[in-house]
Structure 1
């Protein structure tokens, strides 16, 4: 399981609580900010909806394209190793590209949100004389912080969903058919008082190279060994 998954979940929960607190404060300072906040939240959730499945699938590919060098067979498997390494590098590059794609769109949504906040604040200030310059400044300050926190929260939620692929691999491994037990069945198991007489008995024993061969090395024979 990815070691960073617990820390990512914790970071996501902390960021989510900060986002909710900041939203309440911004709406308290300027109730008109609720409209741009809804628009910005809808835009970011839409980007997340497009971003999360691709990131999750690419993370699965990363998990399946890794190779472990063992038994000191690098020279024998050099070409195959570089082939799998190239595949893993391609997938990681796609993940980095996808992250940049989502970051640009999150920034666009943030810019639109801040622009709407400024326009609404100016309109309300001019038309109704409700807000002072201090209140407008506080609204803009917390709105800027809100967009940064909101972006980080969305990205962390996607990261949590992406890293859950490691849990999928564990569950898939647990569901694999188990190997048969290395213990003998009860039919061929030695009795509890075995070797009490200090004697080994071979009764009607035959040996051969293979079951398919009809010519055994030793035919049916019986003998015993005393201690």
Structure 2
């Protein structure tokens, strides 16, 4: 219907054909500008929402421990903080949508104004019935263009979740396969339960600080060893 309306305008107003490519270029540039910003804000909102869900799940699973240590207020305040951070990104997403809709409406309204002026000032020989036909179609196209470009942008924003799933499934580095018996090991290994670490450095992933630095331990056979840490330390 948008294409048919533009063709109708070009038939009745031949000079309008010059304006159509300019308007389309401006629409595409505006869409790209909004899309780049909205996509990143949507990613932030998805990350913050994951933090809220994770905190909620941890609170439910550790409810007895939280009550035992009387830490309800601390967990409530931390949950409120995470929800506020998520809402900041969510409100920014809504504000960007309104910004895009207003700019699109202004641009398309200028298109309708241009056609109305060309018709009313009799730049072209066009009768009153054709003028009414053109304006009625143009006013319908105004809303359709806004909704169409907005839907196009929102589809990509909502696909951020699919992008994250694809990243987790295909792009995260995987651990090497576990080899139980190597060519240089005794088939009866291990013969005794001894574990020895010498100056081991461990971290959760690349770029994070080391959780263990120069860690050394020598566990003898038949020893009972207990490792203690804070809740969630693994």
TM-score, length of structure 1 as denominator length: 0.68
Mark the runs of 5 or more structure 2 residues left unpaired by the alignment: 64-71, 197-216, 224-234
1:154-179 CA-partner distances (Å, limit 9, x unpaired):
11121122223223212221211224
Q: 1:118 aligns with which of 111, 116, 119?
A: 116
Whole-angstrom distance in 1 between the partners of 2:75 and 2:179: 38
Corresponding position of 1:106: 104
Partner residue, 1:195: none
> Structure 1 residues 154, 215: CA separation in 2 closer, same or farther (over 3 Å shift)?
closer
2:57 alignment partner in structure 1: 70
Deviations 1:82-101 (A, max 9, x none): 22211110001111111111
| 8 Å contact kept, 1:114–1:143 | yes
**1:175 counterpart = 2:171:** yes
Coordinate RMSD, CA, aligned: 2.8
Q: Which has the higher contact order (CA 8 A, sep 6+)?
A: 1
Deviates further, 72-81 or 42-51: 72-81
Q: CA contact under 8 A between 1:51 and 1:98: conserved in structure 2?
A: yes
Deviation at 1:47, TM superposition (A): 2.2
Deviations 1:178-209 (A, max 9, x none): 2455x663559xxxxxxxxxxxxx8984235x
SS of the equivalent of 2:218 reads: coil
Task: Find the counterpart in structure 2 of residue 47 from structure 1.
Answer: 30
Matching residue of 1:95: 93
1:207 aligns with 2:193: yes
CA–CA separation in structure 1 for the residues paired with 2:220 and 2:180: 28
Give secondary structure in 2 for the equivalent of 1:213. strand
Structure exhibiting the larger radius of gyration computed from Cα positions: 1
Q: Secondary structure of 2:192's match?
A: strand
Q: Is the 8 A contact 2:193 2:220 kept in 1?
A: no
* Distance in 2 separating the partners of 1:100 and 1:140: 26
**Per the alignment, do residues 28 and 184 of structure 1 end up closer, same or farther by CA in structure 2, a change over 3 Å counting?**
same
Deviations 1:80-132 (A, max 9, x none): 32222111100011111111112221121122111110111123x3x55x211
Q: 1:163 to 1:132 in 2, by over 3 A?
A: same
Query: Is the aligned partner of 1:216 residue 2:221?
Result: yes
